[in-house]
A and B are shown apart, each in its own frame.
Chain A
């Protein structure tokens, strides 16, 4: 888009880059905020239906479409309280730290072939790293509230998030190993084609790893059944007990943003990203390759695909929340250390062996081998002769359509 702005519209380069950055940030912020609005309404409706009642039915029509808006207005109009013994700076800054961590991870998340804030070579690593930074907002909120419920809730939540980062990292490494790169755009591109190309169906180990990833992701964002830290019946409201109004809504935008993020990450890593189950664009002869109107349209459809899959993931998380009972903190830790981590490690070893022994997959007609060894990166016994030139190295690292 920057090239278009510079060449066609004639803006000076610095202004063009500023506009591009502003547009990207605006779009991502809308995804988070708009998504939060939709998810709050969806959560109330889903909770209601699972509990055999109707949910919001008055505000804005028969289905309560405007309930989220009413909630937002209520939150904005609330009094801005701060407990007396609270540390002012830390109390105020905590929601923003949490929200920034959640928002920053969207920088590296691709929504379609070229719809990515910044295409990082270490995209997966960056997203998982930044997800773990949300815990600082939680700890600060818990400490700065000067209330023991907040502090207990914050410590438990921090311990939970930090513990579940270990199996989460191991689960995330399996698709990275299959694709041979940490670049999220490349990982999704390699799953193009029919839905059997998706890494979910690549081998049974990856299938199990997907479900372990779902468990770890739900624990990572502190959703039920792992939401001991913010349970009403346990700790009043955990770390956000003393927060009201707009500050509280920042915490919840961060939570829904993180839920959407881990669902979108699961979609990119395991469910083919923006590729649909049937390669309609390829059958029609279009491709997402270069910048052209038809390709832009293909990319938009891909973006819609990814949003659909991520929303589905969030709805499944809500379904789980209102169905399963809550785990105690020792059960949460047991699940992490005694079940998730060994299973993830074993499946990682299994997927590695599968790659070594059956690189072509078990259905050669429908799937294609993932993560084939790239020529030129391995230094053979010839030494300098097999060393790639910088240009060749960069070309190898690019996406192969």
Chain B
């Protein structure tokens, strides 16, 4: 890359960074502020999508694609399904009392101030990025997960044997299996001890001739077959 291209790329990098960062932060604040739980889910999706964009900008393409596939495309779809299953009218917007919100706001502001101060405390973090082109990370990550490190250690790291990540990889695989089984068991449809109102109404037997007529028309419908 020539120097002028580097500068152009850096300027665009800065512009795109501010774009994605403002989207991510703005939608995160939107999640906090929104009352309607479905809108909160939408804002969360957009915020995490913008975070994936930030990952791509930082050169972590593999992690960015992982974020999109697993987090946005998996976890958030799960969350949205949960929202849909429980988004009955009374629960779509539940408001918190004003005093709780004020207290939370004060705590959040002080926490944010602390974190921002920490973000600028180390001088090495404040130097602008050099813009080194990142080597493609898919192969080093893949082989690291199998236990073999093929990446160059970044300059400045102390020498020594660097370990692979085979054990955490196996543990996470078993963990996901356990979570799959456990979540399926926890969320199974249970037999209710007290029936819901609609089940009580349905259990009241309709008059006999209506039942026969209803049965006749239902069989006529299904006789057409599934199209």
**Given known contacts A13-B4, A122-B65, A328-B226, is B38 in contact with A378 (CB within 8 Å)?**
no
Which of A86-94, A243-251, A301-309 faces chain B? A86-94
B69 and A125 form a contact (CB under 8 A): yes
**A390 located at the interface, meaning its Cβ lies under 8 Å from any Cβ of chain B in the complex:** yes
State the CA gap A90–B65 with chains docked (Å). Answer: 26
Which of A52-60, A132-140, A263-271 faces chain B? A132-140
What mask results when residues 22 to 61 of chain B are scored 1 for a CB within 8 Å of chain A, else 0? 0000000000000010110010010001000000000001
Contact of B84 among A155, A165, A326, A389 (CB under 8 A): A155
A120: nearest chain-B partner, CB-CB: B61
What mask results when residues 198 to 236 of chain A are scored 1 for a CB within 8 Å of chain B, else 0? 000000000000000000000000000000000101100
State the CA gap A233–B39 with chains docked (Å). Answer: 31
With a CB–CB cut-off of 8 A, which chain B residues contact A38? none
**A400 located at the interface, meaning its Cβ lies under 8 Å from any Cβ of chain B in the complex:** no
With a CB–CB cut-off of 8 A, which chain B residues contact A12? 8
In the complex, how many angstroms separate the beta carbon of A22 from the nearest chain B beta carbon? 13
In the complex, how many angstroms separate the beta carbon of B6 from the nearest chain A beta carbon? 9
In the complex, how many angstroms separate the beta carbon of A218 from the nearest chain B beta carbon? 18
With a CB–CB cut-off of 8 A, which chain B residues contact A394? 133, 135
In the complex, how many angstroms separate the beta carbon of B38 from the nearest chain A beta carbon? 6
B80: nearest chain-A partner, CB-CB: A139
**B62 located at the interface, meaning its Cβ lies under 8 Å from any Cβ of chain A in the complex:** yes
B42 and A140 form a contact (CB under 8 A): yes
A135 and B77 form a contact (CB under 8 A): yes
B45 and A17 form a contact (CB under 8 A): no
**Given known contacts A6-B5, A140-B42, A390-B152, is B77 in contact with A158 (CB within 8 Å)?**
yes
**B138 located at the interface, meaning its Cβ lies under 8 Å from any Cβ of chain A in the complex:** yes
State the CA gap A397–B4 with chains docked (Å). Answer: 25
Which of B99-107, B143-151, B172-180, B213-221 faces chain A? B143-151
**A129 located at the interface, meaning its Cβ lies under 8 Å from any Cβ of chain B in the complex:** yes
B138 and A122 form a contact (CB under 8 A): yes
State the CA gap A128–B70 with chains docked (Å). Answer: 11
**A252 located at the interface, meaning its Cβ lies under 8 Å from any Cβ of chain B in the complex:** no
**A170 located at the interface, meaning its Cβ lies under 8 Å from any Cβ of chain B in the complex:** no
A331: nearest chain-B partner, CB-CB: B226
State the CA gap A241–B226 with chains docked (Å). Answer: 21
With a CB–CB cut-off of 8 A, which chain A residues contact B4? 6, 13
A377 and B227 form a contact (CB under 8 A): no
A93 and B42 form a contact (CB under 8 A): yes
Contact of B72 among A93, A133, A155 (CB under 8 A): A133
Contact of A17 among B8, B72, B73, B84 (CB under 8 A): B8
What mask results when residues 143 to 170 of chain A are scored 1 for a CB within 8 Å of chain B, else 0? 1100000010001001000100100000
10 extra A-B contacts, CB within 8 A, seeds A125-B138, A397-B135: A87-B36, A87-B39, A90-B38, A90-B39, A121-B62, A126-B61, A128-B69, A155-B81, A158-B80, A183-B136
What are 17 pairs between A and B in contact, CB < 8 Å? A14-B8, A93-B42, A125-B62, A125-B66, A129-B66, A133-B49, A136-B45, A144-B38, A158-B80, A162-B74, A162-B77, A182-B138, A231-B227, A233-B227, A387-B150, A390-B152, A394-B133
